[in-house]
Structure 1
Amino acid sequence: MIETFDHLFLLEDGFMRERDRTSPAKQLQNVRNGLLTETKAVGRSGNIDLIMAAERKFLQNDLDRHSTSPGMASSLKVALSDMAIAEKHMAMVRDPVAYGVIDEGHSRPKNRVGGVPKDEARQFFSSHATRLLNLDRSRLSPEEKHLLDQRKVNMRTAAGLYEALQREALGLPPKGREMGKGMER
Protein backbone atom coordinates (compact mmCIF):
# COMPACT_ATOMS: atom_id res chain seq x y z
CA MET A 1 0.00 0.00 0.00
CA ILE A 2 2.80 2.49 0.84
CA GLU A 3 4.34 1.79 -2.56
CA THR A 4 1.09 3.08 -4.08
CA PHE A 5 1.70 6.43 -2.39
CA ASP A 6 5.19 6.60 -3.88
CA HIS A 7 3.80 5.85 -7.33
CA LEU A 8 1.01 8.43 -7.00
CA PHE A 9 3.42 11.06 -5.69
CA LEU A 10 5.68 10.51 -8.71
CA LEU A 11 2.70 10.82 -11.05
CA GLU A 12 1.55 13.96 -9.28
CA ASP A 13 5.02 15.49 -9.58
CA GLY A 14 5.19 14.73 -13.30
CA PHE A 15 1.78 16.22 -13.99
CA MET A 16 2.58 19.31 -11.94
CA ARG A 17 5.81 19.85 -13.88
CA GLU A 18 3.95 19.39 -17.15
CA ARG A 19 1.22 21.80 -16.01
CA ASP A 20 3.82 24.43 -15.00
CA ARG A 21 5.15 24.49 -18.57
CA THR A 22 1.80 25.54 -20.05
CA SER A 23 1.14 29.06 -21.30
CA PRO A 24 -1.49 29.84 -18.62
CA ALA A 25 0.90 28.66 -15.88
CA LYS A 26 3.65 30.92 -17.22
CA GLN A 27 1.20 33.83 -17.39
CA LEU A 28 0.20 33.14 -13.79
CA GLN A 29 3.87 33.18 -12.76
CA ASN A 30 4.25 36.58 -14.45
CA VAL A 31 1.19 37.97 -12.67
CA ARG A 32 2.48 36.72 -9.32
CA ASN A 33 5.89 38.24 -10.03
CA GLY A 34 4.10 41.53 -10.75
CA LEU A 35 2.29 41.25 -7.42
CA LEU A 36 5.64 40.64 -5.75
CA THR A 37 7.15 43.76 -7.35
CA GLU A 38 4.22 45.90 -6.20
CA THR A 39 4.25 44.37 -2.71
CA LYS A 40 7.96 45.14 -2.35
CA ALA A 41 7.31 48.75 -3.42
CA VAL A 42 4.57 49.05 -0.80
CA GLY A 43 6.93 47.78 1.90
CA ARG A 44 9.71 50.15 0.83
CA SER A 45 7.30 53.10 0.98
CA GLY A 46 7.47 53.20 4.77
CA ASN A 47 3.80 54.19 4.72
CA ILE A 48 1.95 52.17 7.37
CA ASP A 49 -1.45 53.06 5.91
CA LEU A 50 -0.43 51.84 2.46
CA ILE A 51 1.08 48.64 3.89
CA MET A 52 -2.11 47.91 5.80
CA ALA A 53 -4.32 48.71 2.79
CA ALA A 54 -2.32 46.32 0.61
CA GLU A 55 -2.50 43.55 3.22
CA ARG A 56 -6.25 44.11 3.52
CA LYS A 57 -6.48 43.58 -0.25
CA PHE A 58 -4.60 40.28 0.06
CA LEU A 59 -6.85 39.08 2.86
CA GLN A 60 -10.05 40.12 1.11
CA ASN A 61 -8.88 38.56 -2.17
CA ASP A 62 -8.08 35.29 -0.40
CA LEU A 63 -11.49 35.31 1.29
CA ASP A 64 -13.38 36.17 -1.92
CA ARG A 65 -11.49 33.97 -4.38
CA HIS A 66 -9.40 31.33 -2.65
CA SER A 67 -11.15 30.29 0.54
CA THR A 68 -11.52 26.51 0.20
CA SER A 69 -12.77 25.52 3.64
CA PRO A 70 -14.87 26.89 6.49
CA GLY A 71 -11.73 27.04 8.65
CA MET A 72 -9.87 29.12 6.09
CA ALA A 73 -12.83 31.47 5.63
CA SER A 74 -13.14 31.86 9.39
CA SER A 75 -9.43 32.63 9.79
CA LEU A 76 -9.57 35.26 7.04
CA LYS A 77 -12.68 36.88 8.54
CA VAL A 78 -10.97 37.05 11.94
CA ALA A 79 -7.88 38.58 10.30
CA LEU A 80 -9.99 41.23 8.57
CA SER A 81 -11.88 41.98 11.78
CA ASP A 82 -8.66 42.23 13.80
CA MET A 83 -7.18 44.45 11.11
CA ALA A 84 -10.14 46.83 11.37
CA ILE A 85 -9.52 47.13 15.11
CA ALA A 86 -5.80 47.72 14.47
CA GLU A 87 -6.67 50.47 12.00
CA LYS A 88 -8.79 52.20 14.66
CA HIS A 89 -5.78 52.11 16.97
CA MET A 90 -3.63 53.55 14.19
CA ALA A 91 -5.98 56.54 14.10
CA MET A 92 -5.91 56.92 17.90
CA VAL A 93 -2.12 56.62 18.17
CA ARG A 94 -1.81 59.74 16.03
CA ASP A 95 -3.63 61.69 18.75
CA PRO A 96 -1.48 61.71 21.91
CA VAL A 97 -4.43 62.59 24.17
CA ALA A 98 -6.60 59.77 22.82
CA TYR A 99 -3.70 57.34 22.93
CA GLY A 100 -3.01 58.30 26.54
CA VAL A 101 -6.25 56.50 27.43
CA ILE A 102 -4.99 53.34 25.71
CA ASP A 103 -1.68 53.71 27.53
CA GLU A 104 -3.44 53.93 30.89
CA GLY A 105 -5.45 50.81 30.08
CA HIS A 106 -2.26 48.83 29.47
CA SER A 107 -0.29 49.69 32.59
CA ARG A 108 0.45 46.16 33.79
CA PRO A 109 3.94 44.96 32.78
CA LYS A 110 2.54 41.93 30.95
CA ASN A 111 0.48 44.31 28.77
CA ARG A 112 3.53 46.25 27.65
CA VAL A 113 6.44 45.44 25.40
CA GLY A 114 9.41 47.75 24.96
CA GLY A 115 7.82 50.34 27.24
CA VAL A 116 4.68 50.75 25.12
CA PRO A 117 1.25 49.11 25.26
CA LYS A 118 0.73 45.73 23.68
CA ASP A 119 -2.58 47.02 22.38
CA GLU A 120 -4.93 45.47 19.85
CA ALA A 121 -2.88 46.78 16.92
CA ARG A 122 0.27 45.10 18.20
CA GLN A 123 -1.76 41.98 18.93
CA PHE A 124 -2.92 42.03 15.31
CA PHE A 125 0.65 42.29 14.03
CA SER A 126 1.66 39.35 16.21
CA SER A 127 -1.28 37.11 15.35
CA HIS A 128 -1.07 37.98 11.67
CA ALA A 129 2.64 37.12 11.64
CA THR A 130 1.67 33.69 12.98
CA ARG A 131 -1.08 33.38 10.36
CA LEU A 132 1.38 34.16 7.55
CA LEU A 133 3.95 31.77 9.02
CA ASN A 134 1.35 29.00 9.04
CA LEU A 135 0.54 29.73 5.38
CA ASP A 136 4.23 29.40 4.60
CA ARG A 137 4.07 25.80 5.80
CA SER A 138 1.54 24.81 3.16
CA ARG A 139 2.07 23.62 -0.37
CA LEU A 140 2.68 26.74 -2.46
CA SER A 141 4.45 27.58 -5.70
CA PRO A 142 7.82 29.33 -5.51
CA GLU A 143 6.15 32.58 -6.62
CA GLU A 144 3.53 32.29 -3.88
CA LYS A 145 6.26 31.64 -1.30
CA HIS A 146 8.19 34.75 -2.38
CA LEU A 147 5.03 36.85 -2.21
CA LEU A 148 4.22 35.47 1.23
CA ASP A 149 7.77 36.22 2.41
CA GLN A 150 7.38 39.83 1.26
CA ARG A 151 4.03 40.14 3.03
CA LYS A 152 5.77 38.98 6.23
CA VAL A 153 8.48 41.62 5.71
CA ASN A 154 5.80 44.27 5.15
CA MET A 155 3.97 43.31 8.33
CA ARG A 156 7.22 43.51 10.33
CA THR A 157 7.79 46.95 8.81
CA ALA A 158 4.24 48.03 9.73
CA ALA A 159 4.70 46.73 13.28
CA GLY A 160 7.90 48.77 13.63
CA LEU A 161 6.23 51.87 12.21
CA TYR A 162 3.34 51.43 14.62
CA GLU A 163 5.68 51.12 17.60
CA ALA A 164 7.38 54.34 16.48
CA LEU A 165 3.97 56.04 16.40
CA GLN A 166 3.26 54.73 19.90
CA ARG A 167 6.55 56.06 21.22
CA GLU A 168 5.91 59.43 19.62
CA ALA A 169 2.36 59.63 21.04
CA LEU A 170 3.65 58.84 24.51
CA GLY A 171 6.56 61.28 24.30
CA LEU A 172 9.15 58.50 24.45
CA PRO A 173 12.43 58.65 22.55
CA PRO A 174 12.71 56.54 19.39
CA LYS A 175 13.56 52.91 20.04
CA GLY A 176 17.26 52.41 20.65
CA ARG A 177 17.80 55.98 21.79
CA GLU A 178 16.81 55.48 25.41
CA MET A 179 19.32 56.59 27.99
CA GLY A 180 22.45 54.54 27.77
CA LYS A 181 21.59 52.90 24.45
CA GLY A 182 23.46 53.88 21.34
CA MET A 183 25.39 56.53 23.23
CA GLU A 184 28.75 54.74 23.22
CA ARG A 185 31.68 56.77 21.94
Structure 2
Amino acid sequence: MTANWYKACLRHRFTMDSAATLVNPTPPTPYFMTSTSLKNATFYAQPGIPLYTITNDGKQTIVNDRRTPGRIVAIFHQREFLPNTISFPERNGSAPISVQKWLRKTKLADGTIAFVMGTDYGPYAWKMISSHRQKVYAQCDLDRPIASCSFHTTVSNGKPAFLLEYDAEPLREDILVAYLLQRQRVMSEDRLIDVFVGSPAG
Protein backbone atom coordinates (compact mmCIF):
# COMPACT_ATOMS: atom_id res chain seq x y z
CA MET A 1 0.00 0.00 0.00
CA THR A 2 1.58 3.29 -1.07
CA ALA A 3 1.40 6.59 0.80
CA ASN A 4 -0.39 8.19 -2.17
CA TRP A 5 -3.04 5.45 -2.18
CA TYR A 6 -3.57 5.88 1.57
CA LYS A 7 -3.94 9.66 1.21
CA ALA A 8 -6.37 9.20 -1.69
CA CYS A 9 -8.40 6.78 0.42
CA LEU A 10 -8.60 9.27 3.27
CA ARG A 11 -9.65 12.04 0.85
CA HIS A 12 -12.31 9.78 -0.62
CA ARG A 13 -13.75 8.90 2.78
CA PHE A 14 -13.74 12.52 3.91
CA THR A 15 -15.45 13.71 0.73
CA MET A 16 -18.09 10.98 0.81
CA ASP A 17 -18.75 11.51 4.52
CA SER A 18 -19.13 15.24 3.89
CA ALA A 19 -21.52 14.57 1.01
CA ALA A 20 -23.61 12.27 3.18
CA THR A 21 -24.19 15.06 5.70
CA LEU A 22 -25.52 17.55 3.15
CA VAL A 23 -29.22 18.37 3.50
CA ASN A 24 -29.68 18.59 -0.27
CA PRO A 25 -26.73 16.74 -1.81
CA THR A 26 -26.09 17.22 -5.51
CA PRO A 27 -27.61 14.30 -7.45
CA PRO A 28 -25.39 12.14 -9.66
CA THR A 29 -24.84 13.33 -13.22
CA PRO A 30 -26.20 11.07 -16.00
CA TYR A 31 -24.06 10.50 -19.09
CA PHE A 32 -25.60 9.16 -22.28
CA MET A 33 -24.28 7.59 -25.48
CA THR A 34 -25.80 7.95 -28.94
CA SER A 35 -25.06 4.36 -29.95
CA THR A 36 -24.01 1.13 -28.29
CA SER A 37 -21.56 0.58 -31.15
CA LEU A 38 -18.03 1.36 -30.04
CA LYS A 39 -17.02 2.21 -33.61
CA ASN A 40 -18.88 5.49 -33.74
CA ALA A 41 -20.65 7.03 -30.77
CA THR A 42 -20.90 10.27 -28.83
CA PHE A 43 -21.12 10.67 -25.08
CA TYR A 44 -23.10 13.62 -23.86
CA ALA A 45 -24.72 15.12 -20.79
CA GLN A 46 -28.08 16.80 -20.67
CA PRO A 47 -29.24 18.99 -22.28
CA GLY A 48 -27.57 17.25 -25.22
CA ILE A 49 -24.07 18.66 -24.62
CA PRO A 50 -21.55 16.48 -26.55
CA LEU A 51 -18.50 15.72 -24.45
CA TYR A 52 -16.62 12.85 -26.07
CA THR A 53 -16.67 11.00 -29.38
CA ILE A 54 -15.55 7.42 -29.92
CA THR A 55 -14.20 6.42 -33.32
CA ASN A 56 -12.75 3.15 -34.57
CA ASP A 57 -10.69 2.39 -37.68
CA GLY A 58 -10.71 -1.39 -37.24
CA LYS A 59 -7.40 -1.46 -35.36
CA GLN A 60 -7.83 1.05 -32.57
CA THR A 61 -10.57 2.92 -30.77
CA ILE A 62 -9.96 6.60 -30.05
CA VAL A 63 -11.72 8.67 -27.39
CA ASN A 64 -11.71 12.36 -28.38
CA ASP A 65 -12.57 15.36 -26.22
CA ARG A 66 -15.26 17.33 -28.07
CA ARG A 67 -14.70 20.44 -25.96
CA THR A 68 -10.98 20.67 -26.76
CA PRO A 69 -10.33 20.15 -30.51
CA GLY A 70 -7.44 17.80 -31.13
CA ARG A 71 -7.29 16.46 -27.59
CA ILE A 72 -7.27 12.66 -27.37
CA VAL A 73 -8.30 11.20 -24.04
CA ALA A 74 -7.31 7.59 -24.70
CA ILE A 75 -6.48 5.11 -27.45
CA PHE A 76 -7.47 1.46 -27.20
CA HIS A 77 -5.15 -0.68 -29.32
CA GLN A 78 -6.64 -4.00 -30.47
CA ARG A 79 -3.91 -6.50 -31.35
CA GLU A 80 -4.45 -9.89 -32.91
CA PHE A 81 -1.70 -11.93 -31.27
CA LEU A 82 -0.59 -9.75 -28.34
CA PRO A 83 -2.56 -8.38 -25.38
CA ASN A 84 -4.74 -5.37 -26.08
CA THR A 85 -3.37 -2.11 -24.70
CA ILE A 86 -4.66 1.28 -23.64
CA SER A 87 -2.71 4.53 -23.80
CA PHE A 88 -3.43 7.97 -22.37
CA PRO A 89 -1.59 10.63 -24.42
CA GLU A 90 -1.47 13.04 -21.48
CA ARG A 91 -0.23 10.50 -18.94
CA ASN A 92 3.00 8.60 -18.41
CA GLY A 93 4.47 9.82 -21.67
CA SER A 94 1.57 8.17 -23.54
CA ALA A 95 3.19 4.75 -23.05
CA PRO A 96 0.68 1.95 -23.70
CA ILE A 97 -0.31 -0.29 -20.83
CA SER A 98 -1.93 -3.71 -21.01
CA VAL A 99 -5.70 -3.51 -20.61
CA GLN A 100 -5.52 -6.49 -18.25
CA LYS A 101 -3.12 -4.52 -16.06
CA TRP A 102 -4.98 -1.19 -16.08
CA LEU A 103 -8.36 -2.88 -15.54
CA ARG A 104 -7.26 -5.94 -13.60
CA LYS A 105 -9.58 -8.83 -12.81
CA THR A 106 -9.30 -9.76 -9.15
CA LYS A 107 -11.15 -11.20 -6.18
CA LEU A 108 -12.06 -8.78 -3.40
CA ALA A 109 -11.90 -9.55 0.30
CA ASP A 110 -15.59 -10.50 0.33
CA GLY A 111 -15.01 -13.07 -2.43
CA THR A 112 -16.60 -10.95 -5.16
CA ILE A 113 -14.98 -10.95 -8.58
CA ALA A 114 -14.26 -7.39 -9.69
CA PHE A 115 -12.16 -5.41 -12.13
CA VAL A 116 -9.83 -2.96 -10.41
CA MET A 117 -9.05 0.21 -12.34
CA GLY A 118 -5.81 2.07 -11.70
CA THR A 119 -6.15 5.87 -11.50
CA ASP A 120 -4.21 8.87 -10.21
CA TYR A 121 -6.64 8.86 -7.28
CA GLY A 122 -6.03 5.25 -6.33
CA PRO A 123 -7.65 1.92 -7.30
CA TYR A 124 -11.38 1.66 -8.03
CA ALA A 125 -13.32 -1.59 -8.27
CA TRP A 126 -15.99 -2.38 -10.88
CA LYS A 127 -18.40 -4.85 -9.27
CA MET A 128 -21.07 -6.78 -11.13
CA ILE A 129 -24.62 -6.16 -9.92
CA SER A 130 -26.31 -8.14 -12.71
CA SER A 131 -25.29 -9.34 -16.16
CA HIS A 132 -25.66 -5.83 -17.62
CA ARG A 133 -25.13 -3.59 -14.60
CA GLN A 134 -22.02 -2.72 -12.63
CA LYS A 135 -21.18 -0.26 -9.89
CA VAL A 136 -17.84 1.40 -9.23
CA TYR A 137 -16.35 1.79 -5.75
CA ALA A 138 -13.14 3.09 -4.30
CA GLN A 139 -11.30 -0.07 -3.34
CA CYS A 140 -10.91 1.31 0.18
CA ASP A 141 -14.68 1.92 0.50
CA LEU A 142 -16.81 -0.85 -0.98
CA ASP A 143 -20.00 0.42 0.64
CA ARG A 144 -20.57 3.64 -1.32
CA PRO A 145 -20.57 3.50 -5.13
CA ILE A 146 -19.26 6.48 -7.07
CA ALA A 147 -20.85 5.35 -10.35
CA SER A 148 -23.59 3.06 -11.62
CA CYS A 149 -23.25 1.73 -15.17
CA SER A 150 -25.60 0.06 -17.66
CA PHE A 151 -24.43 -2.25 -20.44
CA HIS A 152 -27.71 -3.06 -22.15
CA THR A 153 -27.44 -3.97 -25.82
CA THR A 154 -29.73 -1.19 -27.03
CA VAL A 155 -29.85 2.53 -26.30
CA SER A 156 -33.12 3.39 -24.57
CA ASN A 157 -34.44 6.92 -24.67
CA GLY A 158 -33.72 8.61 -21.39
CA LYS A 159 -31.59 5.74 -20.04
CA PRO A 160 -28.04 6.85 -19.18
CA ALA A 161 -24.95 4.80 -19.91
CA PHE A 162 -23.70 5.65 -16.44
CA LEU A 163 -24.43 7.87 -13.46
CA LEU A 164 -21.51 9.61 -11.79
CA GLU A 165 -21.61 11.04 -8.28
CA TYR A 166 -20.79 14.75 -8.27
CA ASP A 167 -17.68 14.41 -6.11
CA ALA A 168 -16.28 11.75 -8.48
CA GLU A 169 -16.18 14.09 -11.50
CA PRO A 170 -12.34 14.15 -11.50
CA LEU A 171 -12.59 10.44 -12.41
CA ARG A 172 -15.03 10.97 -15.29
CA GLU A 173 -12.58 10.16 -18.09
CA ASP A 174 -11.23 7.08 -16.31
CA ILE A 175 -14.82 5.90 -15.78
CA LEU A 176 -15.66 6.58 -19.43
CA VAL A 177 -12.68 4.64 -20.79
CA ALA A 178 -13.22 1.73 -18.40
CA TYR A 179 -16.93 1.78 -19.25
CA LEU A 180 -16.09 1.29 -22.94
CA LEU A 181 -13.75 -1.61 -22.14
CA GLN A 182 -16.28 -3.22 -19.81
CA ARG A 183 -19.06 -2.79 -22.37
CA GLN A 184 -16.93 -4.48 -25.00
CA ARG A 185 -16.21 -7.36 -22.62
CA VAL A 186 -19.88 -7.78 -21.66
CA MET A 187 -21.03 -7.70 -25.30
CA SER A 188 -18.35 -10.24 -26.27
CA GLU A 189 -19.53 -12.55 -23.50
CA ASP A 190 -23.14 -12.12 -24.67
CA ARG A 191 -22.13 -13.14 -28.21
CA LEU A 192 -20.36 -16.24 -26.92
CA ILE A 193 -23.45 -17.22 -24.94
CA ASP A 194 -25.59 -16.79 -28.05
CA VAL A 195 -23.21 -19.02 -30.03
CA PHE A 196 -22.94 -21.84 -27.49
CA VAL A 197 -26.38 -21.67 -25.88
CA GLY A 198 -28.49 -20.04 -28.58
CA SER A 199 -30.61 -16.92 -28.54
CA PRO A 200 -33.92 -17.18 -26.68
CA ALA A 201 -36.84 -18.05 -28.93
CA GLY A 202 -39.48 -15.47 -29.68
State the TM-score, normalized to the length of structure 2.
0.29
Higher percent of residues as helix: 1
* Rg (Cα) greater in structure: 1
Which structure's residues are more often strand, by fraction? Answer: 2
**TM-score (normalised: structure 1):** 0.31
